[in-house]
Structure 1
Amino acid sequence: MAKRSDASAGTPATVALAAAGVPYVPRAYEHDPRAAAFGLEAAEKLGVEPERVFKTLLASVDGGLVVGIVPVAEQLDLKALAQAVGGKRAEMADPALAERKTGYVVGGISPIGQKTALPTVLDETAILFETILVSGGRRGFDLELAPDELLRVTSGRYAPIARSR
């Protein structure tokens, strides 16, 4: 996969990937502000199966923020996320806090290039795919990259943190 630069798509995520030498493909689409599920919208508009498109969610685990990355058609299993980072209790983070700590807006939070480096866990189903898509740092912009490269650039780990709706 070739690394492409897209000047119009420069985000902290693309800057971080370029600095780390991580190959990625920028994938932009026309975001509909009325869309209720940003990840499912991305899968549909980019013509990618939803299992390969992952959403970035922030949770508070024992008082500290943790990033959980799961397929867009699934839910984050908060108990499994807490276990994955050695915690006991997890709850979804306040959206305003998530925006402050990451530097991104809800619906466009990328796991890459966040203002504050946070523990990151990627659902283990990502290993089934050569590449996955995650938010590129704004609504209507995703990044396609290898899951191992995503974990390398975020210092993350795999764990079974998704559950069916």
Structure 2
Amino acid sequence: MTQAIDRVRQALLQAGHPDTIAMFAEGTHTAAEAAASVGCSIAQIAKSIIFRSGETPILVVASGVNRIDRAKVGAALGRKVERADPAWVEATTGFAVGGVAPVGHLAPALILIDEDLLALDPVWAAAGSPSHAFRTTPADLVRVTGGSVANVKA
């Protein structure tokens, strides 16, 4: 777990983002838990969901209140998108489900950012474990991930 958090920290710093990673003993495994722990609305949680297209990881960073429409994700990327099982997620990204960060992945991912996050500031994202998160702005989230903004909500 420490290696995963360190990868996130390094990715943030390499992108010119301050190290805003904090540990929350109450946990940040779900969007609701994360919001309660950090003291923000559930919408301000930038949850990272991994899908797959063949062996390519697809990362969708969405507002904590939104469900993701896989068909919209596939249309935005122009490819078939499937669910990814937790073992594949961890093997491919280096993060366990519940701690998947938007940066610091082992393998490059295709990344979409939920357009609803752009109206929220600040936002909080997982930082490599189910008890670590980092604070960022929507603009910085788009910048550090290199993701494309899209309508992905169901």
Per the TM alignment, residue 62 of structure 1 is displaced from its structure 2 partner at its CA by: 5.7
Per the TM alignment, residue 28 of structure 1 is displaced from its structure 2 partner at its CA by: 2.3
Aligned match of 1:84 = 76
Aligned residues between the structures: 152
Of 25, 30, 38 in structure 2, the residue corresponding to residue 38 of structure 1 is 30
For 1:151 and 1:91, the matched residues in 2 are separated by 23
Aligned match of 2:6 = 11
- Equivalences for 1:106-117 in 2 at 5 Å? 106-117=97-108
Aligned match of 2:149 = 158
Q: Look up the SS of the partner of 2:18 in the other structure.
A: coil
Answer yes or no: is 1:136 the counterpart of 2:127.
Answer: yes
Q: 1:16-43, CA deviations, whole angstroms, 9 ceiling, x for partnerless residues?
A: 11122113522321145xx9x6221010
Of 128, 134, 137 in structure 2, the residue corresponding to residue 146 of structure 1 is 137
Gaps of 5+ in 1: 1-6
Identity over aligned pairs, percent: 24
For 1:75 and 1:91, the matched residues in 2 are separated by 15
Q: Look up the SS of the partner of 1:80 in the other structure.
A: helix
For 1:101 and 1:151, the matched residues in 2 are separated by 21
C-alpha distance 70-105 of structure 1, shift in aligned 2 (>3 A): same
Structure of higher CA gyration radius? 1
C-alpha distance 63-116 of structure 1, shift in aligned 2 (>3 A): closer
Tell me if the contact between 2:5 and 2:129 (Cα under 8 Å) persists in the aligned partners.
Answer: no
For 1:109 and 1:63, the matched residues in 2 are separated by 17
Amino acid at match of 1:12: R
Answer yes or no: is 1:23 the counterpart of 2:18.
Answer: yes
Gaps of 5+ in 2: none
Tell me if the contact between 2:59 and 2:111 (Cα under 8 Å) persists in the aligned partners.
Answer: yes
Amino acid at match of 1:158: V
For 2:138 and 2:18, the matched residues in 1 are separated by 11
Scaled by the length of structure 2, the TM-score of the pair is: 0.88
Amino acid at match of 1:112: V
